[in-house]
Structure 1
């Protein structure tokens, strides 16, 4: 599962802040000041929101592999130092710009942003925010945008997965792998072969809806999938491991979609 950062690090007098007080106050943020080094918690000056922007009181922030890469200088986008990482977050709306009409103060929201999520507050464009359904907690919501966005992009937009097709997904017990299982089985009505590195993870993937599971730490992934689907292979393969697992998944797929 994706990790979470809770922004409630310490008792905070900043909870008394009010909308419209963007300038002249500060909030705490996790800063990457040097690549490949631990993040530092520092005070950051707040700013006023633009007409199309929303200020969010961040409760939780997901931690993704891409966040690790950007803090190591290995992501496709390389922000100038220092910067605050964090690509997905959840919280409540503190303030809205004059032109915002999608959310209002007090709404529970999830958001996406290339940066800035690992902080007590985040300012982002209203188009990057969605209201959280009442039955979904902010803790759960914080890890939804990246994992499910990736799953939908791979399954629908890249592979055009059809009902009844077979999807092979590696690292199936991770956040994105579980999202792939959910979308493939419950939305697209496809069958899923979940490939993981342990029996415990295989069990989790099966509980979440996969029809088959393969523990690739115990033998050849290619041969195991062949036993399940025959020489025809799977219709879609989504790989998030790389290396030899990538090659074995490729050899069993008619339409790979590697993320």
Structure 2
């Protein structure tokens, strides 16, 4: 009888011990949040990853190699958040895909620039020269407006201009469009190229050698980059912690330093 009681007590003790180990192990498991970024921005997020780790949050950075991927991945819940796009890009994507993605925080504003590996001034452009542009509607429109500001072309009054909206093309330039991530790599095949700043940095282009650039202080708010989630998660406190961890003064200085002060942090 005593042996049975002893065995029962041992069994109860073992059960409590197993439960304690399981609860302790579960308590040590970090909360995992998957963040999608274009691969050129991985470096920008590393300080935030480290900061959140101290709070028990594991921010897993999921890289994509083009602008065409992260929103679809977020929409299908393959990732929890993304940070790669401007407010204008997000608005257009939602419209075209019947999406319900929303911005929950600003990150930075990066100027778009005109580069060339063939000429040193836009005055050297001649008849029949070629111009490389991003192929998505948002960045293409922004690139065309930049070309107009630089005096290369003249557009009609379309809000989101396309190549067909060019009304003055004095040199009969030829235009070709490719994914924004590829524009800089195709510079050798075009006379000039309009390049997004993150891809220019990734390929080590010198902003000082750009033929023309957006003025950072004058870039419209619609081109501010944002942190995005599915609409039903817009009030999620964990996701808000990610925004807070990113939007620090220390991180602001870090981003400005690694971008050679070409990016303007906004929040």
Compute the TM-score of the two structures, normalised by the length of structure 2: 0.25
Larger RCO (alpha carbons 8 Å, 6+ apart):
2
Compute the TM-score of the two structures, normalised by the length of structure 1: 0.26
